[in-house]
Amino acid sequence: MKIASYNINGINARLDNLLRWLAEAKPDVVCLQELKAPDDRFPWKALLAAGYHSIWHGQKSWNGVAILSSYGEIQETRRGLDGDPNDLHSRYIEAFINGIVIGCLYLPNGNPFPGPKFDYKLKWIKRLTKHAKKLNGFDLPVALVGDYNIMPTELDTYKPEKYIDNALFRPEARKLWQILLSQGWTDAFRKMYPEQRIYTFWDYLRNAYQRDAGLRLDHFLLNHKLADKLQSATVEKHVRGWAHSSDHAPVWIEISEARAPHPS
């Protein structure tokens, strides 16, 4: 089972790229972020024609998350996080697919630091941590997937010293990431590549992709029940090189599936 995450940076502006990549990579489940589209402009028909059912939580102009599945109709389990009734950003959607709880998230960027946007980011991480604790109590495989907008360590950025005062790398955010992980979550990519510099984002500015001036922002957190089944993890770096690409690359993990018992 292939579970993917892709910050698409405008689903309608990049629908052709998305469909091309789906046809090429054939993931089973895809978590999308930064739809930048209201609910009534989500291209569900084109995705259905490509073989994917969708659930989505859109918003005018910014944010927006969706989950695609090749397994048929999707059982949605949640949209949004508790803890702030005034938060209207569409940043979290969750479903139960093929026996796995999959949370798709778009964590606030938080720049500029310091400021209200950074404060909102920290609060959002705490709300996510609270929800993650609840999910971790279930006797089910769980994956929390998406654009975390956090570089957890110096290995996760091409130039750590440049990012000291950046919300993506501030110690306050990295500390909350560690607190979240300490509940028992496995960072799937770091588990598969313990020492390697891997990036999932390259800025549009200053030929960042050509220079490999990247950041690792998109993560898969797996609970124990799922981490045991992790087979591989891949960054689809070449897709970032396509014309009219998002500034993120699609990323995916492969999960081994227990063979279903034969019907008797």
Partner DNA sequence: ATGTCAATCGTGGATTGA
Residues forming the site for DNA (CB under 7 A): 9-10, 12-14, 34, 36-38, 60-62, 108-109, 111, 117, 204-206, 244
Query: CB-wise, 90 or 223, nearer to DNA?
Result: 90
Query: Toward DNA, which CB reaches closer, 118 or 185?
Result: 118
Q: Count Cβ neighbours within 10 Å for each residue of 176-210 and write b for 16 or more, e otherwise.
A: bbeebbeeebbbbbbebeeeeebbbbbeeeeebbe
Q: Give the CA distances from residue 256 to residues 3, 45, 90, 229, in Å, rounded to whole numbers and listed in that order.
A: 11, 30, 31, 5
Phi, psi of 70 (to 5 degrees): -90, 0
In the complex with DNA, the residue whose CB is nearer, 186 or 245, is 245
| 7 labeled binding residue | yes
Minimum separation from the CB atom of position 110 to DNA (A):
8
Let me know if 248 is a catalytic residue: yes
Residue 166 marked as a ligand binder:
no
The CB density around residue 112, as the number of other CB atoms within 10 Å, is 12
From the CB of 49, what's the least distance to DNA, in Å?
20
Kindly give, in sequence order, each residue whose CB lies less than 8 Å from that of residue 218, ignoring residues fewer than 6 positions away.
Answer: 5, 7, 146, 147, 148, 200, 201, 248, 251
Phi-psi region of 83 (alpha: psi -120 to 50; beta: other; left: phi over 0): left
Q: For residue 9, say whether it is annotated as part of any ligand binding site.
A: no
In whole angstroms, the minimum distance from the beta carbon of 12 to DNA comes to: 4
Q: Which is nearer to DNA, 165 or 228 (CB)?
A: 165
From the candidates 106, 148, 199, 209, which is the catalytic residue?
A: 106
Q: Tell me if residue 6 is catalytic.
A: no
The answer to whether 250 and 201 are in contact (CB under 8 A) is: no
- Shortest distance (Å) from residue 111 CB to DNA: 6
Binding-site positions for Mg(2+) read 7, 34, 147, 149, 247-248
Binding-site positions read 7, 34, 147, 149, 247-248
Positions marked catalytic:
106, 147, 248
